Amino acid sequence: MDRLIYTGARIFDGTALHDNRALVIEDGAVSAIVPASAAPDGPRVALAGGVIAPGFVDLQVNGGGGIMLDGTAGVAEIATICEAHARLGATSILPTLITDTPAATRSVLAAGVASVGRVPGFLGLHLEGPHLDIRRNGAHDASLIRPMMDEDLEILLEAKAGLPALFVTVAPAAVTLQQIEALERAGIFISLGHADCTLSQARAAHTAGARGVTHLFNAMSQFTSREPGLVGAALSLPFHVGLIADGVHVHAESIRLALAAKREGEVYLVSDAMAVAGSEATCFTLGGRMIERKDRALRLADGTLAGADLSLPQAVKFMIEVVGIAPERALAMASRIPAQIVGVQAGTLSQGGPADFVLLSDHWDLQQVWRAGQPLQAKSSTE
């Protein structure tokens, strides 16, 4: 039996933060979390403080390691993206295809199905588009945004049969309630985003089976006194909402208001990372348009935000140190909660589960990453 025991750090198991405990790893899996004084015999790793937490779970990852997920991506490219984010602390991810052609969508879905069981950390796919609202396209190519057709629906239903998780962001203007119902019945997680919808339209979509709102506050109808919009719907209805906690996409005070409005477990963190994640690149192209990496943000030439220059450990640090929430809540928003939302086994340190975990410093900076009990060379930021 290959056993290794980690001591000297606090341990977050996905729900609670424990002091004076030991993490016992056996054969690449979590064996137990026990009082340090009661740890079994075996080789020990004595850590000098910090916090051990489950490997983070990122449900919105557009690219990494110099690669964007697009119609040219195969298993190797998906593996590169997953590896880049594992070294940034997210050991389980949903690579995300933003609005593209029908051919690109089919190709990425096929590559995703082929990656199951072959790419460590691959949980499935997130399709952010093309069935969005042209009035809220953001950095998405408006010429490729289109309504969902019967053929699109069938392709998604077929792909879900081969994927552990499939997350699809749509706008009410581009899908019918019947299509949402069919997708939900198949186990596809439907999230509303890039939408200029009203509260009543969002409520109807929720009743039909939509369960999430993508990158809350961004690329959506805003809250006003007479029309709450998608922001109001996200805050008042039991949607699961993703947050880009970088201090650029959403103000800290807006995050505090959202957390006050939502129930525990309804808010999770995403990186919305792009190709430059895990690299030192200062720019990249998106659909033939140049994206500049500067001042902790990624922008088109006209200033439009195009994804984020963010890792989940950085988001956790922002939530704790700037927003001011408890460490346990911030850590859960980057681990257990997103995993539960899409129904995958990740984001906790539970007996028999994979030994995917990270070590954060006492100031919440990433120090080390382990996948299946093996250490990776961690990157402390997206640089």
Q: What is the pLDDT of residues 351-374, one digit of tens each?
A: 999 999 999 999 999 999 999 999
Residue 84 lies in a domain: yes
At how many degrees (to 10) do helices 75-87 and 102-115 cross?
70
Catalytic residue among 272, 309, 356, 362: 272
| pLDDT tens track for 192-216 | 999 999 999 999 999 999 999 999 9
CA distance 227 to 232: 8
Pair 273, 207 in one domain: yes
User: Highest mean pLDDT: which of 35-39, 329-333, 379-383?
Assistant: 329-333
Pair 279, 370 in one domain: no
CA distance 65 to 260: 36
378 confidence band (pLDDT: 50, 70, 90): low
Pair 263, 163 in one domain: yes
Residue 89's domain is classified under what CATH number? 3.20.20.140
Q: Who's near 143: CB < 8 A, 6+ residues apart?
A: none
Residue 382 lies in a domain: no
Pair 213, 287 in one domain: yes
CB 357 within 8 A of CB 347: no
Residue 308 lies in a domain: yes
Mean pLDDT of the chain: 96
| pLDDT tens track for 228-237 | 999 999 999 9
CA distance 348 to 94: 17
Pair 295, 324 in one domain: yes
**pLDDT number for residue 382:** 42
Domain containing 324 equals: 57-342
Q: What's the average model confidence in pLDDT over 252-270?
A: 97
| Spatial strand order in the sheet of 240-243 | 57-61, 92-98, 124-128, 165-170, 189-192, 212-213, 240-243, 267-269
Asked if pLDDT for residue 383 goes beyond 90, the answer is: no
Q: Tokens 């069919």 correspond to what residue? A: 182
Q: What's the average model confidence in pLDDT over 46-69?
A: 97
> Virtual CA dihedral for 128, 133, 136, 140, nearest 10 degrees?
40
Residue 133 lies in a domain: yes
pTM tops 0.75 = yes
Pair 84, 228 in one domain: yes
Pair 272, 190 in one domain: yes
Asked if pLDDT for residue 104 goes beyond 90, the answer is: yes
Look up 272 and say whether it is catalytic.
yes
Residue 383 lies in a domain: no
Residue 38's domain is classified under what CATH number? 2.30.40.10
Asked if pLDDT for residue 315 goes beyond 60, the answer is: yes
Q: What's the average model confidence in pLDDT over 160-164?
A: 97
CB 47 within 8 A of CB 28: no
Pair 50, 77 in one domain: no
Residue 381 lies in a domain: no
C-alpha angle 147-150-151 in degrees, rounded to nearest 5: 100
Q: Which of 311, 144, 170 is nearest to 179 (CA)?
A: 170
Asked if pLDDT for residue 153 goes beyond 50, the answer is: yes
Pair 41, 169 in one domain: no
Pair 179, 64 in one domain: yes
Count the domains in the chain.
2
**pLDDT number for residue 267:** 98
CB 366 within 8 A of CB 358: yes
**pLDDT number for residue 287:** 81
Residue 93 lies in a domain: yes
**pLDDT number for residue 381:** 47
Pair 47, 125 in one domain: no
Pair 49, 66 in one domain: no
Residue 370 lies in a domain: yes
